[in-house]
Amino acid sequence: MTTSWLDLPADHPFGLATLPYGVFSTAADPRRRVGVRVGDHVLDAAAAAEQAGMESGVCWDRPSLNDFLSRGHHAWAAARAWLVEVLSDPMYRDAVEPHLLPVADVTMHLPFEVADYVDFYASEHHASNVGRIFRPDSEPLTPNWKHLPIGYHGRAGTVVVSGTDIVRPCGQRKAPSDPAPTFGPSRRLDIETELGFVVGGATPLGQPVPIDEAVEHLFGVVLLNDWSARDIQAWEYVPLGPFLGKSFGTSISAWVVPMAALEAAHVPLPGQDPQPLDYLRGDEGSVFGLDIHCEVRVNGTAVSRPEYADMYWSPTQMLAHLSVNGASLRDGDLFGSGTISGADRQTRGCLLELTWSGQEPVTLEDGTTRAFLEDGDTVTITGWAPGPDGARIGLGEVTGTIRPAFE
């Protein structure tokens, strides 16, 4: 295992096996630029690259990761190798150390400009539970569910960085028993615990990405909270899908963890039956699950511990599917996995499922209960994965606090 002259504890979630990318600024230097998290510091990547003589580091002197994303997977691998080298070989210490800033001194920003945002629905347990709740008189899974990764486009312009407050949305709500819809603040505001995949290496229109090449377009992952107004969603979503019930805000973690950091976390999928069509089947290694562990806290109380390994569809299957009609990829495309839910109640990734549509509220440590979120509630999702040689890969956190509706 490579060690750093930074003298990090072996089990630090942001050791040399993680090295996530983000965009930061400081009070002294308010320019937004790319940073790399290492231990409890943020490396000013462009400044370090310049001093250490790495020319391609210029793509880090930008207010977003998009330029770096456009360089493609060979450049991402070379950059990661360079970072490991300069952070482990003492020869680089003098050049690099001045560009390490305490994480407490930086402000983090949205790490990339989101091009298109797609949200999938890749957990069989989540889709089944939602089907039972929203469509009690039908089969829980629709007939297409095991043939293709169901997904839809969300609003890219309302993806925000962790720490951004979320204003409770207003909209039309109508319970089946109501005679007509009413307008007002959502009464069923929910979270959705997801993993987000960040795409780079743009492709031309009309040319699908084969599944065996899909991983080359996956730059990294973020934790994602797809805030959902269940009452607005339930009334609007037939026939064209969720719209205002989702588009008011989607939060992502500030740190993008490279896919390269998750190689030790690849696991087999739980199993797919029926076997998917050819374009969703790849060579060995092309289709995989991820051994990522999440925790969801509401005002500090852990209410759920979703396991990403329970997901039915592979991220590479999602990417191959979304481009199989010739849709082009852009640097900065983001797709969410859909809510991460397992078979057990304590692994359900949203309150809709956890409280079974509000019928079985969860109790917080302060003794209060929640069917759905209240104004002032803070939701924090954390995550980690196993790394090489017993290392721990930290996924950081995505957090947000609910502000009262705009009235």
Active-site positions?
126
145's enclosing H/E stretch is none
- Reading the block at residue 188, the tokens are 């069923």
Q: Does 133 bind a second copy (CB under 8 A)?
A: no
Indicate the residue among 30 and 204 with the shorter CB distance to a second copy. Answer: 204
Q: Which string of x and - marks every residue 262-301 that binds a second copy (by CB under 8 A)?
A: ------------x--xxx----------------------
Of 29-48, binders to a second copy (CB under 8 A) are: none
Give the residue ranges of DSSP H helices in 89-168: 93-96, 124-134
By CB under 8 A, name the one of 330, 337, 372, 394 that touches a second copy.
330
List the one residue from 25, 237, 264, 270 that touches a second copy (CB under 8 A). 237
Sort 80 into a burial class: Cβ within 10 Å, 0-12 / 13-18 / 19+: middle
Say whether 135 counts as a known binding-site residue.
yes
Q: Give Rg (Cα) of the chain.
A: 21
Tell which positions 299-328 bind a second copy, by CB under 8 A.
321-322, 324-328
- For a second copy, the binding residue among 14, 60, 82, 121 (CB under 8 A) is 121
Q: Which of 89, 135, 285, 375 binds a second copy (CB under 8 A)?
A: 135
Phi, psi of 325 (to 5 degrees): -90, 5
Q: Helix, strand, or coil here: 290? A: strand
Residues contacting a second copy: total by CB under 8 A: 68
Q: Does 170 bind a second copy (CB under 8 A)?
A: yes
One character per residue 338-357, x = contact with a second copy (rule: CB under 8 A) = --------------------
Write down the least CB distance from residue 317 to a second copy, Å: 13
CB neighbour list of residue 157: distance below 8 Å, 6 or more residues apart: 114
Contacts 24+ apart (CB under 8 A), 125-132: 125/310, 125/341, 125/342, 125/343, 125/347, 125/348, 126/338, 126/339, 126/340, 126/341, 126/348, 126/349, 126/350, 126/353, 127/338, 129/341, 129/348, 129/352, 129/353, 130/352, 130/353
Note the residues at the interface with a second copy (CB under 8 A).
Answer: 115-116, 118, 121, 131, 134-135, 142, 144, 147-148, 150-158, 160, 164, 167, 169-172, 174, 180-183, 205-208, 229, 232, 235-245, 247-249, 274, 277-279, 321-322, 324-330, 333, 403, 406
